[in-house]
Amino acid sequence: MILPKRLNKIAELIEDDVVVIDVGCDHALLDIYLTLNRNNVFCYACDIKESALEIAKKNINKYKLDNKIEVRCCDGISDLEINNNTIIVISGMGKSTIMHILDDDRIYNARRIIIQSNNEIEDLRNDMINKGFCIDNEVVSFDRNKYYVIISFKKGNKKYSNDELYLGPILIKNNKENSDYFKFLLEKEKNILGTIPSKYVYIRKNIEKNIEKIIQLLK
């Protein structure tokens, strides 16, 4: 079974011998892939929409995994047990939906939380750090002409600079392998700067700072 590149990058962050709660599983492709390709991984494929879960069930049935993946219709992590063996995955949603799902104290019991937000990545890092999580891994996937940032959080307190919150502390460390992503961000910032009238000095200065930081990383 071949996963879309974005989901494959998420799968690469998941080890053997864990329980995965895939919140908003939709098609459940990640759960099927992990069940087939990891040792001793049990997946809960969860979604708030019955219609999505019908497709998930069909896909699971196609791979004859009906007894190996548990399908749940629920809002977020609902009443699922979360412990040091649990990895929560939330991908393909907007930041506010993700933070709504994570508004539950039981998330602190999880081994890790892997998030791929469709927007507001800097705010997501900030919100998770304010919640008492730190970043233990970050990767970028380029899939169907779009960049996706996938972040793995674990419980812990760590201070991050504004640059790290914006660009990602681990992506910065691995700047060479993420250079295409940074080039994309650079173009995005330049385009935004082009739309800001010169009277907005403060806003322009901040964008110029971002541009300078990315240029330094690309050297």
Ligand X SMILES: C[S@@+](CC[C@H](N)C(=O)[O-])C[C@H]1O[C@@H](n2cnc3c(N)ncnc32)[C@H](O)[C@@H]1O
| Residue number with CB closer to ligand X (48 or 211) | 48
| Residue number with CB closer to ligand X (85 or 97) | 97
Q: To the nearest whole angstrom, how small is the minimum distance from the Cβ of residue 23 to ligand X?
A: 5
Question: How open is the CA angle 169-86-1, to the nearest 5 degrees?
Answer: 85
| Residue number with CB closer to ligand X (73 or 215) | 73
Q: To the nearest whole angstrom, how small is the minimum distance from the Cβ of residue 192 to ligand X?
A: 26
Question: How open is the CA angle 189-135-179, to the nearest 5 degrees?
Answer: 40
Please provide residue 113's backbone torsions phi and psi, each rounded to the nearest 5 degrees.
-125, 120
Residues 6+ apart with CB under 8 A from 63: 1, 32, 35, 36
Contact 161, 24 (CB under 8 A): no
Contact footprint for ligand X (CB under 6 A): 23-26, 46-49, 52, 75-76, 91-93, 97, 101
| Residue number with CB closer to ligand X (93 or 140) | 93
What is the distance, to the nearest Å, from the Cα of residue 123 to the centroid of all Cα atoms in its chain? 13
Q: To the nearest whole angstrom, how small is the minimum distance from the Cβ of residue 74 to ligand X?
A: 7
Q: To the nearest whole angstrom, how small is the minimum distance from the Cβ of residue 39 to ligand X?
A: 23
